[in-house]
Each structure stands twice: as C-alpha cells, then as structure tokens.
C-alpha cells in the first residue's frame, strides 16, 4: 500500500474505531505476550499456550468471517465454497511446513513422509520451490485468487446468483475435497499435512513462534478490518451494495456488475487463503475435511450470528460461535450439534441482523423510553 492510501485509511477511522483498534493491538501485541512469557503459570493472570492457540485460531476464523461478510453481507452472494479457499491457503503453506521438516520425518528422507510411504522417488512438479517461504507466500495468494477469478468470471458472467451460486460453490468445494482425499493428488490424501517441526528454522512449538503467529493473526485481522472498512465506504463499496439490493437497476444505470462482483469475490478468496495459511502452523494440521460442506456453511453462521452487512459483526460472530464450540465440545460434546443447529434456526428466524442488530434494537428502544 502506498503512503497516501494508508493515510487516507487511517484518517477514515473515527475516534471510537481508532481507540478500539489501538486497544486490540495493545492487547494482542503486548499484553498477551507479556502475560504468557513473564507471568508464572500458577498465576491467575497467566495466559496459557492453549488460550493463545485458541484465540490465534479464532482470529484466523474472524478474518474468514470478514471475507465472507464482504461477499455475502455487502455483495449479497452467499458462497458455500469459502472452506475451499481457506484450505487451499492452508495447503499451500503446509507444503512449506512439510519441506521444513527436512530429514526429521519418520523415514529420514528428503521427501515428506507420505510420499515415501507412497513410494514416490521425487517431488511432483507443483511442489518445486515449496522450500522457499516467499514462493509459498505467493502461492497462498495466487492459486486461490486464480481459481476464484476463473470460477467467478464464468459464474457471474452467466449471471448465476442466489442459491444457484451457493449450490455450485458447494459442488466445487465437494469436488475439491474428493480430489484432495486421493493419495495420488500429492497432498497427503486422508491425513493431509501434519507433524510440522519448524518454520523458518525456528521450532514450531516454541512459545516465541507461537506468539509471533498469534501477533501476525492479530495484525492480519486488524488490517483486514481497516481495509474492508475503507472498501465498503468507497464508491466501489456503494456500487457493490447497490448491486446486492437491486442488480437490474444498477445495470440499467450503466454499471457492469460482473467486475464489481468478481473483484470482491476474488478478494474474499484471497483473504480466506491468507487466514488459512496463518491457521495451519497454529493448529499443526491441514486435511481435506477442512473442505467439507459443513465447514463452509459454518462460516456463514458466524457472519449471520454477528450480523451481516457490518464489519465488526462477523468478528463477534466468529468469536462467539467458536468459543461456544470449544466450550461445548469439552463440556457437553453430545449437545454441540443441537446448539449449533438451533443457532442456525433461531438466528435466521429471530435475529436477521445478528447480535449487532439485537444490540442496536435494544439501545434504540431504551433511547425511546428515555
């Protein structure tokens, strides 16, 4: 980003948002590392490794939720394929992590363990360059962008929208999942990538690496929010919202919705992929089940719970749903699906604007009374 744009973006923040941003960054970049490293584990103020991984993971989810909100909340296009882009980013970065294992795998080979297991003699062509972080970082962005662009171009050009778009994105993700489940595809089949050892030569389990990844996720989330905010307030964002509300009218005025939709769709895919790339080293595994239908739909519910068409809503939604998930799956594992299912039903029936909408309504009614 060039300086003028950066300045414009920062200037665009009102005082309340700027304050919230400052508090968020201070917490994630200073308070949490200090509390994790300096405070002894016995203390109530100690932040555990589990908590850091959990929140780091959820911040990646929040980025995905914001990306989903850009396309769904502002563009009116419900994608059931965002799990695919998330997983693609994760796989691309996972390739780098697999190469970083080096000869420390169970077979002491230069090749990743699963390739030795399949009796492959050399890396497939698409693995070339995967030992370079920069190349892999480029892959994380370019591959999902390319897939999203091509798929989106044909879909939007044919004016496929609404549920049809949802269903074909679902089919796309499903097909990709089947592809990645195959051993011959060269991405570890069923088991995917796991047992990572190090990243840029640093041990992946060390607290410093963990904190750096955590900090990067926080920065990514903050950057996504600032950028998304600038985007939806720009002229582009207005046209996008207009397309969501009345596509035909926008066309009659003389805009071509194709490029507006295509841009936000590709952007959304790239954001997901970056989030996926940050997610994989933190949780230590990526496998094809990330592309399952259920995962992609869950992303939609984070956005719906928080409130779509707002930027902070999806973040809140991602945090609420995922914290609830980690609490339920530990305390009442058999009730989690009931809760999630009821959440889907109740939010769509009773809270069309999510928690944020509920809060606004409550504040309004209190204002009226006062």
Residues that bind another protein (CB under 8 A): 78, 151, 154-155, 157-160, 162-164, 166-168, 170-172, 174-175, 178-179, 181-182, 293-294, 297, 300-301, 304, 334-335, 337-338, 340-345, 347-349, 352
At its nearest, how many Å lie between another protein and the CB of residue 154? Answer: 4
Task: Yes or no: say if 296 and 84 are a contact pair by the CB < 8 Å rule.
Answer: yes
At its nearest, how many Å lie between another protein and the CB of residue 262? Answer: 14
At its nearest, how many Å lie between another protein and the CB of residue 169? Answer: 9
At its nearest, how many Å lie between another protein and the CB of residue 54? Answer: 22
CB of 142 or CB of 150, closer to another protein: 150
Give, to the nearest 10 degrees, the angle between helix 207-233 and helix 49-69.
20
CB of 34 or CB of 342, closer to another protein: 342
CB of 51 or CB of 358, closer to another protein: 358
Two structure tokens written together for 30: 């200073």
Distance CA 33, CA 17 (A): 23
CB of 283 or CB of 340, closer to another protein: 340
CB of 47 or CB of 240, closer to another protein: 240
CB of 10 or CB of 294, closer to another protein: 294
Distance CA 223, CA 106 (A): 39
At its nearest, how many Å lie between another protein and the CB of residue 341? Answer: 3
CB of 17 or CB of 191, closer to another protein: 191
Distance CA 85, CA 317 (A): 20
Sign for the pseudo-dihedral over CA of 96, 195, 90, 310: negative
Distance CA 250, CA 236 (A): 13
Task: Yes or no: say if 230 and 17 are a contact pair by the CB < 8 Å rule.
Answer: no
At its nearest, how many Å lie between another protein and the CB of residue 167? Answer: 5
Integer CA distances (angstroms), 180 to 183, 290, 327, in order? 8, 10, 30
Cβ-proximal residues to 226 (8 Å cutoff; 6+ apart), any chain: 9, 10, 13, 21
Q: How far is CA 249 from the centre of its chain?
A: 32
At its nearest, how many Å lie between another protein and the CB of residue 325? Answer: 12
């Amino acid at each position: 980003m060039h300086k003028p744009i950066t300045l414009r973006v920062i200037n665009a923040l009102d005082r309340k948002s700027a304050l919230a941003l400052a508090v968020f960054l201070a917490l994630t970049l200073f308070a949490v590392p200090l509390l994790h490293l300096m405070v002894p584990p016995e203390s109530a103020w100690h932040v555990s490794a589990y908590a850091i991984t959990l929140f780091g993971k959820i911040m990646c989810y929040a980025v995905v939720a914001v990306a989903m909100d850009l396309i769904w909340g502002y563009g009116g296009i419900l994608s059931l394929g965002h799990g695919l882009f998330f997983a693609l980013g994760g796989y691309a970065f996972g390739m780098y992590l697999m190469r970083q294992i080096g000869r420390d795998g169970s077979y002491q080979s230069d090749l990743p363990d699963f390739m030795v297991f399949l009796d492959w003699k050399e890396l497939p062509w698409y693995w070339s360059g995967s030992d370079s972080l920069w190349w892999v970082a480029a892959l994380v962005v370019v591959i999902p962008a390319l897939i999203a662009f091509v798929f989106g171009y044909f879909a939007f050009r044919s004016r496929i929208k609404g549920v049809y778009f949802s269903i074909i994105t679902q089919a796309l993700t499903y097909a990709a999942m089947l592809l990645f489940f195959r051993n011959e595809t060269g991405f570890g089949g069923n088991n995917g990538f796991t047992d990572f050892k190090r990243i840029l030569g640093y041990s992946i389990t060390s607290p410093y690496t963990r904190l750096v990844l955590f900090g990067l996720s926080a920065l990514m989330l903050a950057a996504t929010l600032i950028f998304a905010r600038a985007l939806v307030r720009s002229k582009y964002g207005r046209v996008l919202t207009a397309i969501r509300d009345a596509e035909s009218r926008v066309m009659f005025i003389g805009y071509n919705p194709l490029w507006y939709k295509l841009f936000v769709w590709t952007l959304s895919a790239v954001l997901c992929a970056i989030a996926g790339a940050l997610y994989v080293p933190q949780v230590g595994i990526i496998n094809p089940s990330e592309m399952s239908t259920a995962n992609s739909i869950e992303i939609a519910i984070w956005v719906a719970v928080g409130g779509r068409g707002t930027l902070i809503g999806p973040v809140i939604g991602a945090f609420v749903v995922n914290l609830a998930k980690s609490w339920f799956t530990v305390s009442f594992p058999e009730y989690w699906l009931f809760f999630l299912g009821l959440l889907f039903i109740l939010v769509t029936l009773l809270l069309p604007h999510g928690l944020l909408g509920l809060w606004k309504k409550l504040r309004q009614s209190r204002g009226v009374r006062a």
